[in-house]
Homo-oligomer: A and B are copies of this chain.
Amino acid sequence: MHIKEVGVRNIHFPVKIKEKGGQSQHTIATISMQASLPAWQKSGCIDTFIAILNRSVEAFSVRRFREILTQVCEGLQARSAGMEMTFPYFIKKSAPVSGTSSLMEYSCTFSGSVGGRDEMIITARAPVTTLCPCSKEISDHGAHNQRAEVVLNVKTDKLVWIEDLIALIEQSASCELYALLKRPDEKFVTEKAYNNPMFVEDVVRKVAVAAMAHPDIRWFSAGVESFESIHKHSAYAFVDSDDIFREQAA
């Protein structure tokens, strides 16, 4: 019987990720690898993954992703091989008024496969602020707002920078987040969110419009989970570019 995938999960490994500016940053990835093996292939050989990974310590990068998968595929004589790696990624941001600089952390994932679908997905996750339009409309003062998380998955045949995906997300919410704000900055973000009320549906729609306008994204999906400040549960919205194109064609 054909076993679809055999692999390893939950490997932690130091990697270097190329930054948009030309430099690279050190981070720690959580990695899974799997391969589709022919029936005659002896088991136990999944240590091949670990061995290839350990030879890659010095210069792991996005381009290396595909090389590693190809090595795994050839080393195991596999029909196909896949890998996912999730890692924290840091971007230096300037506060909107004072310009104070601080580091923001985002969670990103590279996932891809060779030998089968041969595709690469980049996932960027960014925290944002959502401010409720309904609450603003009906209340004499204030409006409930909260932290939300946007998850954007994109497929591309070109190079798309994490920095650009994060910027795309951050421009699509009531306001973006910062690690460090001075008083004039706090005034700015409070008022910006208040003047820019958005439901989770509004946020995914704005993310989708921006992603469709990006020349190098050929597929995407986007989800927004808002950790409501007035409820214990989350509000959630999700969009997939396949559905949008199907609707536009209809």
Within residues 173 to 208 of chain A, which ones have a CB less than 8 A from any CB in chain B? 175, 177-183, 186-187, 189-191, 193-195, 199-202, 204-205, 208
Knowing A28-B27, A131-B142, A135-B190, the reply to whether A233 touches B9 (Cβ < 8 A) is: yes
Please determine whether B230 and A186 come into contact, CB atoms closer than 8 angstroms.
yes
Tell which of A97-105, A150-158, A159-167 binds the partner.
Answer: A97-105
Please determine whether B26 and A190 come into contact, CB atoms closer than 8 angstroms.
no
Contacts of A127 in B (CB 8 A): 232
Please determine whether A101 and B54 come into contact, CB atoms closer than 8 angstroms.
yes
Bound: A134/B143 CA distance, A: 16
Nearest-CB distance from A241 to chain B (Å)?
Answer: 10
Contacts of A7 in B (CB 8 A): 235-238
Nearest-CB distance from A187 to chain B (Å)?
Answer: 4
Bound: A65/B51 CA distance, A: 36
Bound: A225/B10 CA distance, A: 10
Q: Which residue of B lies closest to A51 (CB)?
A: B180
Contacts of A209 in B (CB 8 A): 1
1/0 per residue, CB under 8 A from B, across A7-36: the answer is 111111110000000000111100010100
Within residues 57 to 99 of chain A, which ones have a CB less than 8 A from any CB in chain B? 57, 88, 90
Please determine whether A46 and B235 come into contact, CB atoms closer than 8 angstroms.
yes
Bound: A179/B208 CA distance, A: 30
Contacts of A191 in B (CB 8 A): 139-142
Please determine whether A190 and B142 come into contact, CB atoms closer than 8 angstroms.
yes
Given contacts A44-B134, A54-B103, A142-B191, 19 further A-B contacts (CB under 8 A): A1-B208, A4-B240, A6-B200, A7-B235, A7-B238, A9-B236, A13-B105, A43-B202, A51-B180, A105-B232, A140-B187, A141-B195, A142-B142, A144-B186, A145-B229, A147-B227, A147-B232, A175-B230, A179-B231
